[in-house]
Chains A and B, each alone.
Chain A
Amino acid sequence: MFSFQSEAIFHLGAFRITNTIIDTLLIDIIIFAASFVLAKNIKLVPGLYQNIVEIIIQLFYEIAESVSEKKVKKIFPYFMSFFIFILLANWSGLLPGVNSIGFFEKGKLVPILRSSTSDLNTTLGLALISVAATHILSIKTIGISNYLSRYFSLNPINLFIGILEIISEITKVVSLSFRLFGNIFAGEIVLLTVSSIFAVLLPLPFLLLEVVVGLVQALVFSMLTMAFMAILTTPHHDMLDNTRKARH
């Protein structure tokens, strides 16, 4: 049966090349190829491929602009990159052969490919980058003193709130990583279970459901990252002012 841990296909010294790493590398190849082809053939009068890419990028840029306003140029690359990578990783698990083609080891099927986001290492890595980038952007945008004032204060109430903020930053990592991991991992188990019960037609609605889940999860992760970035790049006192204004 499926295990939380990704399965090692081979080893490079101490480094385990797992099926999720192979999946990640395949996604990398797709992204690199798409980016290089785009960069090489980019023109003022676009072709079909450039047009599609432009539509997608412009759509996401406008979404990011509506949330982050003036900070869009800094936040947009994170938002878009998380979305592209997670979407491709989520959907890669739905391709025929992924999770099903492999070899048997100790009476257990070891698939050669497994969706990258069904590995906690990937989702945790993404969550760590998301939170770290948020804090780096925050320091760069509002300055170190303003950034620290969010967490540390001489006022006991604000200090208590600051401690809660620190805890929330840790929970952000946990929630982002486990939400994505849980959804995709559970989806793959469901598909595997349904396929093992009846392989013809029955998995189809679940596959469609997983397509939607993959898209939604990619959007949730990238949107949350963008929202966190937008919040943390706004000075603390500005946010308090805005809250007071909203109350009145």
Chain B
Amino acid sequence: MELIKNFGLDPLLLGAQIINFLIIFYILKRFAYKPVLSVLKKREDLIKGSLKQAEESKKILEETLEKEKTILKNTQKKAEKIIEDAKNRTQEIARETEEKTRKQTEYMISTGLGKIAQESKELEKRIALKVSKLAIEFLQKSMQDVFGEKEQKQFLDAALKKIKKVDWYED
């Protein structure tokens, strides 16, 4: 007991120091460690989350680029096919048009030739008619002074018959 007293041990002081430290312990735990550790954890989570997000974004970007490449490739193929089809179609249309034109031309030529032949015939007929009229007129005028009216008539009728006969045969 003497030894303890020499060292200045006092139960009241000892109790006070124990209570004091327990209060300090609580204050530090409540107002220092807890908020700091929670902020550190939050920050760590935030950094981890951001890194993860960045990694995911990078992955998505790579995938998008890959998709873009594939889409471009496919589009290029499609475009090439469309161009090829268009070329083929154009050639086909050109061929069809050519064929159609050729047929139309042939038809036009054949119809034209028929018309020309018909018109030539009509012209010939008209010429023949004109020539007949001219011949009759010429005969009338030539016979006016030479023959009498009766003879003229007989002669003209015979001539007309002959001309008509020629016309009919030629038709």
Residues of chain B contacted by A32 (CB below 8 angstroms): 27
Contact string against B for A residues 195-229, beta-carbon threshold 8 Å, 1 for contact and 0 otherwise: 00000000000000000000000000000000000
Asked whether A119 and B36 contact (CB < 8 A) given A39-B31, A84-B28, the answer is no
Nearest chain B CB to A246 CB, angstrom units: 33
A-B contacts, 30 listed (Cβ < 8 Å): A5-B6, A5-B7, A15-B16, A16-B13, A18-B13, A24-B17, A28-B20, A28-B24, A31-B24, A35-B28, A36-B31, A39-B31, A39-B32, A42-B36, A50-B39, A53-B36, A54-B36, A76-B33, A77-B25, A77-B29, A78-B25, A80-B33, A81-B28, A81-B29, A85-B24, A120-B8, A121-B10, A124-B17, A126-B21, A128-B18
Hey, what's the 0/1 contact readout for A66-84 against B, CB within 8 Å counting as 1?
0000000000111011001
Task: Tell me whether A125 and B27 are in contact in the complex, defined as CB-CB below 8 angstroms, given that A4-B6, A53-B32 are known contacts.
Answer: no
- Are the CB atoms of A35 and B27 closer together than 8 Å? yes
B-side interface mostly: helix
Complex CA–CA separation, A89 to B6 (angstroms): 22
Contact A38 B21 (CB under 8 A): no
Tell me which residues across on chain A come within 8 A of B16, comparing CB atoms.
Answer: 15, 21, 121
- Chain B residues with CB under 8 Å of A122's CB are 17
User: How many positions in chain A have a CB within 8 Å of any CB in the partner chain?
Assistant: 46
CA distance A29 to B17 in the complex (A): 15
Residue among A6, A24, A57 making CB contact with B32, cutoff 8 Å? A57
* B25:A121 contact, CB within 8 angstroms: no
Cα distance A5–B13 when bound, in Å?
11
Residues of chain B with a CB closer than 8 A to A16's CB: 10, 12-13
The total of chain B residues at the interface (CB under 8 A) is 33
B9 contacts the other chain (CB 8 A): yes
Q: Which residues of B contact A38 (CB under 8 A)?
A: 31-32, 35-36
Q: Which of B40-48, B99-107, B125-133, B134-142 lies at the binding interface?
A: B40-48
Chain A residues lying within 8 Å of B36, measured Cβ to Cβ, are: 38, 42, 50, 53-54, 57
- Return chain B residues, CB-CB under 8 Å to A76: 33
- Bound together, the chains give a CA A102 to CA B7 distance in angstroms of 21
Q: A72: shortest Cβ distance to chain B, in Å? A: 10
Label chain A's interface by main secondary structure: helix
Q: Which of A15, A31, A128 is close to B27, meaning CB atoms less than 8 Å apart?
A: A31
Whether A121 contacts B33 in the complex (CB less than 8 A), given A31-B28, A44-B43, A58-B40, comes out as no
CA distance A15 to B35 in the complex (A): 36
Q: Report the minimal beta-carbon distance from A79 to chain B, rounded to whole angstroms.
A: 10
Contact indicator A35/B31 (Cβ below 8 Å)? yes
B28 touching A42 by the CB < 8 A rule?
no
Contact A6 B13 (CB under 8 A): yes
Ranked nearest first, the 7 interchain pairs of A and B with the lowest CB-CB distance are A5-B8, A125-B17, A35-B31, A121-B13, A39-B31, A125-B18, A81-B25
